[in-house]
Amino acid sequence: MKTMVLGPTFEAVASVPWSFVAYGVLSLALLWQAGRLLNQLWWRPRRLERVLRSQGLRGTLYRFPAGDLGDYARLNKEAWLKPLPLRCHDISARVAPFLDKNVREHGKTALSWFGPTPKVTIIDAEVTKDVMSNKFGHFEKLKFPELAKLLGGGLAGHEGEKWVKHRRILNPAFHLEKLKRMLPAFSSCCEDMVSRWVELLGTDGYCELDVWPELQDLTGDVISRTAFSSSYQEGRRIFKLQAEQAERVISNMGKMIIPGYMSLPTENNRKMRQANKELESILRDIIGRRVEAMRQGEGIKDDLLGMLLESNMSETDGDGQAGMGMTIEEVIDECKVFYFAGMETTSVLLTWTMIVLGMHPEWQDRAREEVLSLFGKDKPDYEGLSRLKMMTMILYEVLRLYPPGTLLVRKTYKEMEIGGVTYPASVMIELPVLFLHHDPDIWGNDVHEFRPDRFADGISKASNGTLAFFPFGWGPRICIGQNFALFEAKMVLSMILQRFEFEVASSYTHAPHTVMAMHPMHGAQIKLKIFIWNGMLPVARSGPWTGLMVEGQFLNNTSVIYYRSVISNEEEIYATYSLPDGAAPTRTQLTYNGEYQVESWRSSQWTILAKWPNNKGCNLYGYCGPNGYCDNTLAYPMCNCLNGFQPTSLEEWNKGRFTQGCRRKEALGCDDGFLSLPGMKSPDKFILVANRSFTECAAECSSNCSCVAYAYANLSTSRIKGDPTRCLVWTGDLIDTEKREDDGFSETLYLRIAGLDAGTWKKTRALKIALLTVLVSSILSGIFLACYKFKGTMKRTRRKKLLFYGMSTSEEPGEGNSAQDFEFPFFSLDDIVAATNNFSEACKIGQGGFGKVYKVWNMWNEGKSKDLADPSIADTSLLDEVLLCNHIALLCIQENPDERPLMSSVVFALENGSNTLPAPNQPAYFGQRSNEMMQLRENIQNSINIVTMTAVEGR
């Protein structure tokens, strides 16, 4: 019967062509897929939108098929074009412009569309805690399984029981007791970095570098060492591979979230798989070796892997069942996560902390004070690190303003009521940590200010009654590595603060943006200054950089001139020293006494030619106290109070004790004007304001009532690209100021003076200028004549001024000797440029365009030696005397040292005159040399001009 019924059906089927069936099945499958897609991209979003809007939620309308992703990218692009002013911490609109706009338009609970998935942004601390507590397990993390396979999902990606098990196994590895054992690894990585930075410092104690990649390398090193101790080198390779993976993810993020994209055979996917294969094989090797060693009874290592394996083994043994612990594959996955979760976030925290402390030197000082009082110059230890209160407050405030993870995101797994709204399954809940941290309703009106003291009584008291601080997340899935990260950050910052002062460099652009974590978009260019320390106290400091410097110094005791020039270009700033051929080997070094010295190798020992600080009495760091300055223009430098100030204690001051410094004679008002003080070494603790013209810099200071001084320089000569302006402003006390000769480190300081009304001052100044103009024009002709008459003398004075700065030597003229006896060949760069027709080939030094020696020699040869006599001395000196001096001078500078007269003969000839002096031969520094001689010189490998730099830390 059955056969009879089925027989015709089978026949019918058999008669249908197979291709037709195949097409039918294919069409059905396609139809089903199309239906699914349509549901995903159209019906479901529309349905969910209706449900959400019906409960009063406002936000953007769903747009098929990409939702708000287009707007998101567009607004990011626009916002990222505009950097923020320095010290502006109101960053939400730049970092998350779409979110900022949506929240402003639709309120603190706002709907938007992540492709076809509805996303509800909630800025509410209580809701955040509820969602993150996830009591009923109805919220889950977003999943990108393909990506997780390559980067490692590990603990951060698991849900349910698997997460519970892994968290239980991993937890012990992050206990404080275990972290204590990792501190040596933290400090040795940091020591490497800090020592490298010390080497980068120029001889003036400055260096500018992008600390962001430096700190990424550091945190990668730390994870490598703390995770794999002895297999540290292999760990480094893993870190490099993971860093490459991260870069690929960042540059392809947009495509990677498209389902199925990661399976496509693209170049990028292929490279990522290749790197993953290598990475897993290294990890498998390390783990295999370690497991084997543990089986052989070797002790557990004090690294993350050792602790993880120990915990994993006890899990297995405790239950007596293998399989309760993690598999090797799972351990590999967790190790990968250490790198991703730990490295990026911590390096970002450190980077922002350096940037922010560079912008707020007053907090940097407080942090340094605390560090020095706890550790001095010693390596920070666990107990000390646990007691760093100020630093903790600073780190919290940085984490508040610049949280590395700006968002916490979850997805409803089932229908769930939260904050009075019932969310269906598959809705993204976005909890913007950044916006919560910048909410004035929670933190008060000073929310965008950097005020670490708000955390003085702990996190719970920092905000207006609501606990709303989530840099490490919240609830059961709170960051497992937060103690690790904070200890690491404290160690690194302590070691940096022990060695350096830093400020943001003028090339830094304040442009925070988010690519996975919150990054500084154009790097974190920080200018490091080394201090010469004596124990915990700074000994001396150079002034802020004022632009290109070329300095020539006559070293009297070697009869050579050594030139120092500081070169600044896009990549680096460095100082070069050059010595003439034949000069003795020369080196610079920082001594144990805290003196920076230039030394020359003479008579089988190093002889000090110059040193800094040159006069310990007054030039020591902050010697004249707050608002006092060291007047270096006096024969005996001494302390003075800046204009508008008087000694805080006259009695102390008169006894030569200046530490209390000076106080204002009159309190400052907002309308007070500025007095210009030329030739000053600018005080310490300045704030750098980028991209300001001189007028804007002045306006920046005068518009801020707490600004007490400003200084401005245009560094365009030293910088090829980037912001060439250097506007410094000061608030608070002015420390370590000097009055100096007009040198490479002095500049005009504009000091706000009580009672000097800006308007009146301007008028007074205008009047002064007018009077001056009249005066100047009336006596101009007189001056012109005087200049002509006293040309020689004036030249001498100016050169002397340019010559002696920064360093001194006991043999320098001017220190007890009669400076007027000397006129050294020191020239400003402008003079050299003009004289050599911008260094043209035809005007080489010594070959026509430039050089006194050359001119004197030529005039001598041409029989015009009489013309050499300066007319200004014609009345007071005999021509014969002048000619004798010139003759002897030419003899003394002959190229061949053996032909030069001994000093005794010179003195004798000067006193008695001599008709028997030989004719001078060509002088040194003369352009003509025999080719043979040149060839010979070039073939000799000598180290005469190589300067040995030694940085020695003061004890």
Question: Which residue ranges make up the annotated binding site?
Answer: 479
- Checking phi first, is residue 864 left (phi over 0); if not, alpha (psi -120 to 50) or beta? alpha
The single-letter DSSP state of residue 159 is: -
Shortest spacing between CB 173 and ligand HEM, in angstroms = 9
Kindly report the backbone phi and psi dihedral angles of residue 144, in degrees, each rounded to the nearest multiple of 5, phi listed first: -130, 80
Please say whether the beta carbons of 128 and 408 come within 8 A.
yes
What strand order describes the sheet that includes 560-568? 549-555, 560-568, 573-578
Shortest spacing between CB 395 and ligand HEM, in angstroms = 9
Residue among 167 and 377 whose Cβ is closer to ligand HEM: 167
Shortest spacing between CB 482 and ligand HEM, in angstroms = 6
Please say whether the beta carbons of 679 and 746 come within 8 A.
yes
Structure tokens belonging to residue 624: 């004249």
Residue among 426 and 576 whose Cβ is closer to ligand HEM: 426
d(CA 763, CA 85): 32
Residue among 170 and 697 whose Cβ is closer to ligand HEM: 170
Candidate residues 408, 447, 715, 909; the one interacting with ligand HEM per rule CB under 6 A: 408
Residue among 479 and 803 whose Cβ is closer to ligand HEM: 479
d(CA 405, CA 352): 13
Residues 346-375 that bind ligand HEM (CB under 6 A): 346, 349
Shortest spacing between CB 495 and ligand HEM, in angstroms = 17
Candidate residues 345, 351, 406, 648; the one interacting with ligand HEM per rule CB under 6 A: 345
Binding flag, residue 473, ligand HEM (CB under 6 A) = yes
**Closest-CA residue to 149 (of 330, 344, 281, 326):** 330
Binding flag, residue 450, ligand HEM (CB under 6 A) = no
- Annotated binding-site members for heme: 479
Candidate residues 342, 361, 644, 673; the one interacting with ligand HEM per rule CB under 6 A: 342
Shortest spacing between CB 120 and ligand HEM, in angstroms = 16
Residues 155-174 that bind ligand HEM (CB under 6 A): 155-156, 167
Candidate residues 59, 471, 543, 647; the one interacting with ligand HEM per rule CB under 6 A: 471
Binding flag, residue 337, ligand HEM (CB under 6 A) = yes
Please say whether the beta carbons of 305 and 287 come within 8 A.
yes
Structure tokens belonging to residue 878: 């005999």
Tally of CB atoms within 10 A around 664 = 16
Instruction: Provide the total of helices (H) and of strands (E) in the chain, helices listed first.
Output: 33, 32
Binding flag, residue 477, ligand HEM (CB under 6 A) = yes
Distance spanning both ends of the chain, measured CA to CA: 108
DSSP per-residue string spanning 166-230:
HHHHHGGGGSHHHHHHHHHHHHHHHHHHHHHHHHH--TTSEEEEEHHHHHHHHHHHHHHHHHHGG
Please say whether the beta carbons of 557 and 576 come within 8 A.
no
d(CA 214, CA 221): 11
Shortest spacing between CB 432 and ligand HEM, in angstroms = 12
User: Which one of the spans 50-58, 418-426, 469-477, 730-738 is the region binding ligand HEM (CB under 6 A)?
Assistant: 469-477
**Closest-CA residue to 328 (of 344, 317, 350, 312):** 312
Please say whether the beta carbons of 430 and 436 come within 8 A.
no
Shortest spacing between CB 235 and ligand HEM, in angstroms = 13
Binding flag, residue 341, ligand HEM (CB under 6 A) = yes
d(CA 614, CA 622): 15
User: Which one of the spans 67-75, 308-316, 475-483, 945-953 is the region binding ligand HEM (CB under 6 A)?
Assistant: 475-483
Please say whether the beta carbons of 152 and 316 come within 8 A.
no
Number of residues forming the site for ligand HEM (CB under 6 A): 22
Candidate residues 358, 361, 405, 923; the one interacting with ligand HEM per rule CB under 6 A: 405
Candidate residues 404, 452, 613, 744; the one interacting with ligand HEM per rule CB under 6 A: 404
Shortest spacing between CB 488 and ligand HEM, in angstroms = 7
Binding flag, residue 153, ligand HEM (CB under 6 A) = no
User: Which one of the spans 245-253, 312-320, 477-485, 632-640 is the region binding ligand HEM (CB under 6 A)?
Assistant: 477-485
User: Which one of the spans 143-151, 238-246, 333-341, 491-499 is the region binding ligand HEM (CB under 6 A)?
Assistant: 333-341
Residue among 108 and 167 whose Cβ is closer to ligand HEM: 167
Binding flag, residue 484, ligand HEM (CB under 6 A) = yes
Binding flag, residue 512, ligand HEM (CB under 6 A) = no
Residue among 217 and 595 whose Cβ is closer to ligand HEM: 217
Shortest spacing between CB 672 and ligand HEM, in angstroms = 44
Beta bridge partners, 681, equal 738
Candidate residues 110, 390, 429, 479; the one interacting with ligand HEM per rule CB under 6 A: 479
Residue nearest to ligand HEM (CB): 481
d(CA 357, CA 373): 19
d(CA 746, CA 738): 9
Cα dihedral value 199, 200, 204, 206, nearest 10:
-130
User: Which one of the spans 306-314, 474-482, 593-601, 813-821 is the region binding ligand HEM (CB under 6 A)?
Assistant: 474-482
Kindly report the backbone phi and psi dihedral angles of residue 570, in degrees, each rounded to the nearest multiple of 5, phi listed first: -60, -35
What strand order describes the sheet that includes 206-210? 206-210, 525-530, 500-504
Shortest spacing between CB 469 and ligand HEM, in angstroms = 11
d(CA 446, CA 438): 10
Residue among 435 and 712 whose Cβ is closer to ligand HEM: 435
Residue among 224 and 640 whose Cβ is closer to ligand HEM: 224
Amino acid identity at 642: L
Binding flag, residue 472, ligand HEM (CB under 6 A) = yes
Residue numbers at the binding site for ligand HEM (CB under 6 A): 155-156, 167, 337-338, 341-342, 345-346, 349, 404-405, 408, 471-473, 477, 479-481, 484-485
